[in-house]
Amino acid sequence: MSAIEAKLAELGVTLSEAPAPAANYVPYVVVGDIVYVSGQISMDADGLIKGRLGYNMETAVGAKAAKTCAINLLSQVKAACGGDLDRLVRVIKLTGFVNSTADFTEQPMVINGASDFMVEALGDAGRHSRSAVSAAALPLGVAVEIEGIFQIK
């Protein structure tokens, strides 16, 4: 078990197999020491986490959905690293999309669910630049989708 996966286990998180793409794209692209991970939707072992912030989902629940996206991002990074998550050097950037109403303005607090998890799991290597934006709808009605850029060795 990698040191990162040991830390995840301390946090009660076990990475599943990296989710397969749902359309005509690849889940990640490696260019040199950079991994670009396609958007990961809010989904856990129980299935899709659906909802619209500001309509039928509270900010705290949206933040939990964002955390699932972060976990799925790490699953993709692990796959990109041939199963050795200790090759991860740092999180460079996350771009979070929040399925929300036009008047909802707490997108940053929702995406904090992913950002806080990355720092908790990876320490300083989890600190990253970020965007958090609203979307009128997301694939399959999910609450959150997050894409990421990572540095590996």
- The 10s digit of each residue's pLDDT in 118-147 is 999 999 999 999 999 999 999 999 999 999
CA dist 62 and 49 (Å) reads 9
| Average pLDDT for 1-29 | 92
3-10 vs 107-122: helix crossing angle, rounded to 10: 120
The residue segments making up the domain with residue 62 are: 3-152
pTM of full prediction above 0.85: yes
| Total number of domains constituting the chain | 1
Residue 135, Cβ density class (10 Å: 0-12 exposed, 13-18 middle, ≥19 buried): middle
Q: Report the residue count for the chain.
A: 153
User: Which residue(s) pair with 100 in the sheet?
Assistant: 53
Helix (H, G, I), strand (E, B) or coil at 61: helix
Q: Domain of 72: which CATH number?
A: 3.30.1330.40
Cα diameter, the chain = 45
| Average pLDDT for 19-45 | 95
Q: Tell me: the pLDDT tens digits for 48-101?
A: 999 999 999 999 999 999 999 999 999 999 999 999 999 999 999 999 999 999
